[in-house]
Amino acid sequence: MSLRRVIATLRRLVQELHRDRRSMALLFVAPVVLTGLMAFVLRGQQLTPVSAVVVNEAGPVGNVIVGALDGALRTDGGTAVGAPDRVGAEAAVRSGTASIAIIVPSDFVARLTGGDQPNLVVITPGLEPTADSSQLVALQRALATAVAQSLPDAGARLPRLTVETLYGSPDDDVVDHLAPVFLGFFAYFFVYILTGISFLRERIGGTLERLLATPVSRGEIVLGYSLGFGLFATIQVVVLLAWTLLDLAIPAVGPVPAFSVGLAVPVAGSPFLAFLVVMLLALGAVSLGILLSTFARTELQVVQFIPLVIVPQALLSGVLFPVNSMPEILQAIARVLPLTYATDGLRQVVIRGADLTYGALQLDLLVLAAFVAVFAVLASATIRREVV
Amino acid sequence: MQASAQSLAPAVQAVDLRKSFGDLHAVDGVSFALPAGRIYGLLGPNGSGKTTLIRMLTGLGRPTSGVATVLGVAMPSRSNLARIGYMTQSDGIYSELTAVENVRFFAAMYGVRDSAAAEAALAVVDLAGRAGTLASQLSGGLRRRLSLACALVHRPPVLFLDEPTVGVDPALRVQFWTYFHELARDGVTIVVSSHVMDEADRCDELLFMRDGRVIAQGTSEELRARAGTQDLEAAFLHFSVDREPAT
């Protein structure tokens, strides 16, 4: 073994790499920026104040508790207001004027004085589990204060919370909430990679030069690419959607125990609408891939865009952390990311059961369509006949 | 293909074409008028501006100043590209497609409706027998032939060939020149760039390029006579030193 050759290899690598600015940035700058961003998202999470609507079925004592709860919530910027009945309270949560509904049952006082643990019914929206649980934590804290204040002789016995959700079911697990959103994310991600690399090959392989020496227009190229990769995105989304929603029971055969195929995620709305949301996102990803291939010279560089372009979107667009609880500045960024609207759209359809009459879903679809158009125009602009 | 009708007006014309990249004047004031139906050899060393000039003539590059005209239409013109064939220096073919799929694709891009055009173009370059072979499995020489077929499929009256014979073995080179002469006989105007002088004698007319300028233009015999030498390479050097303006 020759030490000289080993050292020559080492030196060559250092020479090569330190001239490759992009790889250097990826090695040292990207991890700092990404973990910084993640810390900002996590530490900057603001607790959205609890605005509760309370249905009091427990008479005057209940009113005292509601009043004390209102006082306790107000110290954190929240409120508790009365509602005549459960239907009215649910309507308030559904329309977004209240973040949570509470029902104080008629046996509340009897249980409290009788030494039993009293019970409260809490109704959350159930769209974003993380947002809901932070609401519940804040509510529990306020309840502790309120109970101690209004019924000092109750021995600070905290009421038990029976949680119900407006959409989905409180039994939904993490997969039920994440799978539909990941569906959009994966389609976005893979279509971007495929288009980026495939278009880069056109650029560096000389076929784009040759293509531009024909009477083809840039719009024709982008539209052709969109249809081509749109076709593959369609197949991918159909497969993923089927896998997500499917719950195919396979009976036990001999030594093989019974099992089920698919993630068995319940879908409240139409799978076709979910498909529409993902398709619009995937079409945007085609143009994004063409756009970013302009800034890459090698296939590796297309992959290098993942931590710079794709990962921040996963952090900011509500896939993992609710957008509403992020710091203001990050919320502003989230509002210009297509993935934010696809994530919300998928939640609206799959969990909330939204159809085309829902304003929130209309907005999501409209914004996604606008992104497709804007990205397509930008992508066409990068396909110039003039390439040096 | 266009024939005598075009032969009066120049098929390819350049009027004081210039292209600068910052301080570098890649093409530095080139003017010529090339009548149709002949083979023009653009000769010069690497970096003399041949490719930049061809890219402006095909409308792929926008000149810093000056005008390029092909068949009477100022370039860049997207519709005029249907009448121009361009064989790039790199093969510019899709490796995952078969030979005939490549040609069919470019036929569609050029707006060719004749479904037999792709097979015909492959036949011209003697590739009909390999129509179903993946381009990635073709040898370098066969890939050059396929690249030429893609540039010919729409039967263009003007053909630009950027170093078509680079990396091509002598037998195939002879074959290529046979194709080119057949095409020229049919009235096709061919502009072929090369940095190899021994191909020059196969052209009807030569344009010597150096440092972004055309330093001499004429037939091989004319240029040699003017330089007072039998050797074309020596003639090129003669004009390089003299910096004689093109005639």
pLDDT along chain A (388 residues), means of 10: 90 86 81 86 79 84 82 83 85 84 83 77 82 83 80 67 80 76 86 88 88 89 88 87 82 79 81 89 89 83 82 86 84 90 90 84 93 91 65
Mutation for A interface: B57, B78, B148, most A CBs within 10 A? B78
What local confidence, expressed as pLDDT, does residue B99 receive?
A: 94
CA distance B152 to chain A (A): 12
Question: Residues A70-80, buried b or exposed e (16+ Cβ, 10 A)?
Answer: bebbeeeebeb
What local confidence, expressed as pLDDT, does residue A153 receive?
A: 65
**Are the beta carbons of A213 and B86 separated by less than 8 Å?**
yes
Residue A206 is nearest to which of B58, B59, B88, comparing CB atoms?
Answer: B88
Residue B60 is nearest to which of A207, A217, A385, comparing CB atoms?
Answer: A385
d(Cα A41, Cα A316) in Å, to the nearest integer?
8
Mean pLDDT of the B37-54 span: 90
What local confidence, expressed as pLDDT, does residue B243 receive?
A: 55
**Are the beta carbons of A210 and B59 separated by less than 8 Å?**
no
Of A153, A181, A294, the C-alpha closest to A244 is A181
Q: What is the ipTM of this complex?
A: 0.85
Residue B69 or residue A157, greater confidence: B69
Interface check A17 vs B, CB under 8 A: no
**Are the beta carbons of A207 and B76 separated by less than 8 Å?**
no
Place of tokens 């979107």: A313
| DSSP letter string, B128-185 | GGGTTSBGGGS-HHHHHHHHHHHHHTT--SEEEEESTTTT--HHHHHHHHHHHHHHHH
Interface check B22 vs A, CB under 8 A: no
Judging contacts by C-beta atoms under 8 Å, the chain B residues touching residue A206 are 88-92
CB-based contacts of A126: which residues, under 8 Å, 6+ apart? A132, A165, A166, A167, A168, A169, A170, A172, A351
Angle, CA A11 vertex, CA A9 and CA A16 arms, to 5°: 95
**Are the beta carbons of A209 and B60 separated by less than 8 Å?**
yes
Mean pLDDT of the B33-44 span: 91
Interface check A384 vs B, CB under 8 A: no
What local confidence, expressed as pLDDT, does residue A23 receive?
A: 79
What local confidence, expressed as pLDDT, does residue B1 receive?
A: 45
| Chain B residues 201-240 with CB within 8 Å of chain A | none
Interface check A205 vs B, CB under 8 A: yes
Residue A385 is nearest to which of B76, B79, B110, comparing CB atoms?
Answer: B76
What local confidence, expressed as pLDDT, does residue A353 receive?
A: 83
Average pLDDT, chain B: 87
pLDDT digits (tens, 9 = 90+) for B186-232: 999 999 998 877 788 889 999 999 888 888 888 888 888 888 888 88
Question: Residues A203-213, buried b or exposed e (16+ Cβ, 10 A)?
Answer: bebbbbbbbbb
What local confidence, expressed as pLDDT, does residue B3 receive?
A: 45
Residue B105 or residue A182, greater confidence: B105
pLDDT digits (tens, 9 = 90+) for B193-203: 988 777 888 89
**Are the beta carbons of B21 and A388 separated by less than 8 Å?**
yes
What local confidence, expressed as pLDDT, does residue A173 receive?
A: 72
The answer to pTM > 0.80 is no
Interface check A115 vs B, CB under 8 A: no
